Amino acid sequence: MKYQSSPAGPASGAEPTRRKLLLQFSALALAAPGAVSAVRARPTDRPLVGALRWDAWYVPGSEPTTAMERSLSPPQYQFRLPFFARRTPDNHVSLPALSANLMALEIAQAAYAGLDFWAFVAYPRESPMTVALRQYLAGPTRRMGFCMFTQLDSWGTAGAPAPLSEEHIALMKHEAYVRVADGRPLYFLGFITAARANDRWHDLAGLRAEIAHFRSRSLAANAGNPYIVLGGAPKEIVALAPMLDGDAVGAYAISDGRGIGDYAALVRIAQAGWQTLAGANLPVVPTVMTGWDRRPRVEHPVPWEHQQRPGAGMEYHFGAPRPEEIAAHLRRAIAWMQGQPADRRAPAVLIYAWNENDEGGWLVPTLPCDTRRLEALHGVLTQNRHIRPPGCAIAP
C-alpha cells in the first residue's frame, strides 16, 4: 500500500486552491528553460527501460520523510539509506530537503546507469511526495525522460473525479515526457482491482468509460493518445484487462507477501508473473525486481499502513541481490520481451525501483556511496562501458 496523504476526491472548499495549483503545475510542465531532448543514444535492439520513483525522502518534518527516518534508523537497516542521508555516531538519521543540485546529481546517476526514464508515482500537487517531480520539472536539463505511475484511487470517483488526471494531461505535453510508438505518451494506471473499480466507478464499465474519457481529453489537449499500461496483481489484472481497454499490462511490483527465500526465489516469482500477465493477450511491461524486504516497515510501521502491527511478519522477506544478479534479471526481461509475438511486444521495461529503499527495492546509491547497482545496469544498458559513475558529491 503506497503513501496517500489525503482523499483522492477534492473537497468543495479546496477547489479554488486546487485550480490555482493545477495552473501552476501546468506552467511548470510546459516550461523547460534550456531543456534538451530526453531521447538519448541507446542500443536500438532493446526497449526503453525506466525505474519507479517513490519520493518520500525530501521534506524534513513531513509525515512520509519522518517515517523513512524512523524505519531506517536501526543500525541493521542503515546500509539502505540513500547517499544523501545524514547520520550521527549515536545512530540518529536525518534526510535533508531536496535541492536543485541533489536532483541534478540523481539525474546524472540514473543517466549513467542507462535508464531512459523515471516513472514518478503520482500524488496531488500539494503533497510532499511531489517535491522531486516539481524539482525535476524546474531543472534546466533533461538527461532522461519521465512518465507517471498513478494509483487508481488517485483518479477519484465517478461522482468526484480528482484533478490529478488533468495535471497529467498537461504533463504529457512536456518535451521530456516519454513517448512510445506513434508518439504516444506512456502512462501507468496501477493498483487496479475489481473491488476498487466497483467502489469508485460503480463497476468495470464505469472505469472503462473513465479511461476512454481520459484518452479523449488528452487528444483534445493535443497531448496525444496515451499508451496506458494497466497495473495490478498479475492474476487479477489478466481477468480485468479485457474489460478496461488498456494498451498493455504490468505491475508496480511482483512478489509474494508471505514469501521467504533468496533473491533467486524472488526472480522466479517475478518471471512467473510476466508469464501470467501474458495471458491477457496484450503487450506486457515486465517488472524487474531489485529486491523485496519490508522488515523496516514491519518493525516500525509507517502511518499509512494501518493494518500493519509492529513485528508481525518479520519472517517474510527475500535476500538482498548482488548487483550482477539484478543485471541478469534485467537481461532476462529484455530477452523475454524480444521473444513475444511482434504484436504483443511492449515498448518498455519497468524496474522496481529507484528508491523504495525501506521496502527493499532500490537503485539509488546508498551510504556512503555504493554505486555498484548503477554500474551493473550500465553494463547492460549502455554502449560506452568506460565511463565512470558520477559519484555522490552534491555540488554546493
Q: Summarize pLDDT for 14-56 with one digit per residue, the tens.
A: 333 344 444 444 445 544 333 333 334 455 678 999 999 999 9
Please report how the helices 323-338 and 263-277 are oriented relative to each other, as an axis angle in degrees rounded to 10. Answer: 20
Nearest-angstrom CA–CA distance, 328 and 324: 6
CA distance 360 to 373: 13
In this structure, what C-alpha cell is assigned to residue 390? Answer: 558520477
Backbone phi, then psi, for 124, in 5-degree steps? -55, 150
What 3 state SS string does 88-119 have? CCCCCEECCCCCHHHHHHHHHHHHHHCCCEEE
List the domain boundaries for the chain. Answer: 41-381
Inter-axis angle of helices 15-30 and 131-138, nearest 10:
40
The predicted pLDDT at position 89 comes to 82
Amino acid found at 324: E
- pLDDT score, position 31: 44
C-alpha cell at 382: 549502455
Contacts of 220 by beta carbon, 8 Å cutoff, 6+ apart: none
What is the rounded distance in angstroms from the CA atom of residue 105 to the CA atom of residue 103? 5
What Å distances lie between residue 298 and 31, 168, 290, 295, 314, CA to CA? Answer: 41, 33, 19, 5, 6
What does the pLDDT read at residue 383? 83
Q: List, as one string, the DSSP characters of 349-393.
A: EEEE-SEEGGGTEE-S-BTTTB-HHHHHHHHHH-S-TTPPP--SP
pTM above 0.85, yes or no: yes
Three-class secondary structure of residue 137 per DSSP: helix
* pLDDT value of position 362: 98
> Residue 13: its pLDDT value, please?
37
Q: What is the mean pLDDT of each run of 10 residues along the chain (396 residues)?
A: 48 38 47 37 77 98 97 96 92 94 96 97 95 93 88 94 94 95 95 97 96 97 98 97 96 96 98 98 98 97 93 96 98 96 96 98 97 97 87 94
**Whole-number Å distance between alpha carbons of 234 and 277:** 5
Question: What is the torsional sign of CA 63, 82, 117, 24?
Answer: positive
pLDDT of residue 44: 62
Which DSSP string do the residues of 23-36 spell out, in sequence order? HHHHHHHH--TT--
Nearest by Cα to 72 from 361, 297, 260, 378: 297
Decide if 140 contacts 101 (C-beta within 8 A). Answer: no
CA atoms within 13 A on the CB side of 2: 21
273 vs 21, 187, 327, CA distance in Å?
39, 20, 18
Q: Which residues pair with 86 in a beta bridge?
A: 94
User: Can you tell me which residue has the cell 541478469?
Assistant: 328
Per-position b or e across 40-53, b if 16+ CB within 10 A of its CB? eebeeebbbbbbbb
Q: Which of 272, 354, 283 is nearest to 49 (CA)?
A: 354
For 41-381, CATH number?
3.20.20
pLDDT at residue number 141: 64
Per the document, the length of the chain is 396
- Residues contacting 250, CB < 8 A, separation 6+: 188, 190, 229, 230, 231, 277, 284, 285, 286, 287, 346, 350
